[in-house]
């Protein structure tokens, strides 16, 4: 299993960010074909001071190939394009990981 991880820094306007994120972006995310699971975490703190992130989101797929195919679909591209509608440059960091069990 693999996942795409999105890390979002603190938005300037939490209410506007949350409204768009949960009202528009997550419904787009959930339309991505082949998506196994979506996990949204609101960061509440860090061990060494203020947390550098506001949200941490994981999108799970069965394999890297399935993830690559899913992200290339119209639904996957629409989700990526929507980032510009609620984030500022540099606010979102996107990473990819293999789940080790």
pTM: 0.92
Domain CATH code at residue 33: 3.30.70.100
Residue 49 has pLDDT above 90, yes or no: no
Mean pLDDT value across residues 21-40? 97
Res. 15: pLDDT tops 90: yes
Q: In Å, what is the CA distance from 87 to each residue of 15, 61, 66, 68, 74?
A: 13, 24, 27, 23, 21
Q: Are 43 and 51 in contact (CB under 8 A)?
A: yes
Domain that residue 81 falls in: 2-98
User: In the prediction, which pLDDT does 86 show?
Assistant: 94
Contact present, 82 and 30 (Cβ < 8 Å): no
Res 10: pLDDT? 94
% of the chain exceeding 90 in pLDDT: 93
Total structural domains within the chain: 1
Is residue 13's pLDDT more than 90? Answer: yes
């Amino acid at each position: 299993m693999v996942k795409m991880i999105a890390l979002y820094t603190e938005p300037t306007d939490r209410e506007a960010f949350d409204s768009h994120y949960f009202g528009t972006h997550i419904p787009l995310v959930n339309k991505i074909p082949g998506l196994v699971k979506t996990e949204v975490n609101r960061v509440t703190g860090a061990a060494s001071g203020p947390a550098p992130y506001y949200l941490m989101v994981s999108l799970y797929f069965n394999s890297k190939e399935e993830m690559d195919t899913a992200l290339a679909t119209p639904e996957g591209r629409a989700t990526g394009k929507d980032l510009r509608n609620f984030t500022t440059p540099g606010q979102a960091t996107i990473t990819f990981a293999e789940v080790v069990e």
